[in-house]
Amino acid sequence: MVIGYENPTPSHDRSWKDLIAIALDEAMTALEESFHDLSHQQVWHRPLPDRHSIGTMVMHCLANLNDYGCWVQTNEGVEETAGEPWFDMWKNDPGVLDAEQKGRQLPEPEQMVAWLHRVRQKVTEGLATATEADLRGPRAGEDWCRQFGRTTGDAYARMVFHTMAHVRQIWCLRGVMGAYGATNWPFQHYA
């Protein structure tokens, strides 16, 4: 595999830390591109009654990035994105969320983009301080890694795969909603 568009570099010439940084950048960029140009109504609309909205998926991804990229790595998170249990897509079906959303102030897309930027900064800072050895074992005092027999590198990989899975869902939902067009398709970034 070759990484980069302008000056391609074979991936085997990169460190594990570099590869994680590239994957995280791609995943967080793809997440932002999937919703940044939508209106409040489009983000929170649910054209399929038994499925979640784009907004719920974005907030769910922000909570996951915050949990595994900030808390697991640095023991500090971005509080605003800690996510209410309300955005936990595993525990709440869309009908429950509908009932709970009534009367709530749902975040605007611009606010979610700002939160994503703050989480990205915190995740990037945490990765910058990690060594290759740190990525191959649990961070000192970190319970998630020990509890599930994982490494801090696993936590980063989990964020990438989780985010990209939801990005695919968001684009499918945008297609169902008709929220696409010549100017709405994402620009392909090269690492």
φ and ψ at 55, to 5 degrees? -60, -40
**What pLDDT does residue 121 have?**
92
**What pLDDT does residue 130 have?**
87
CA dist 50 → 47, 89, 92, 148, 180 (Å): 9, 12, 11, 31, 22
**What pLDDT does residue 2 have?**
55
Task: List, in order of start, the domains of the chain with CATH numbers.
Answer: 23-177 (1.20.120.450)
Percent of the chain that is helix, strand, coil (3-state, to 5): 65, 0, 35
- 40-84 pLDDT, tens digit each: 888 988 777 777 889 889 988 998 898 888 877 777 777 665 555
Q: Which residues pair with 10 in a beta bridge?
A: 2
Distance of CA 68 to the CA centre of its chain: 10
**What pLDDT does residue 188 have?**
46
Model confidence pTM above 0.85: no
Closest CA to 65 of 135, 117, 140: 117
Length of the chain: 191
Instruction: Give per-10-residue mean pLDDT for the chain (191 aa).
Output: 61 80 92 93 81 87 87 73 58 58 76 93 90 81 77 89 94 79 49 40
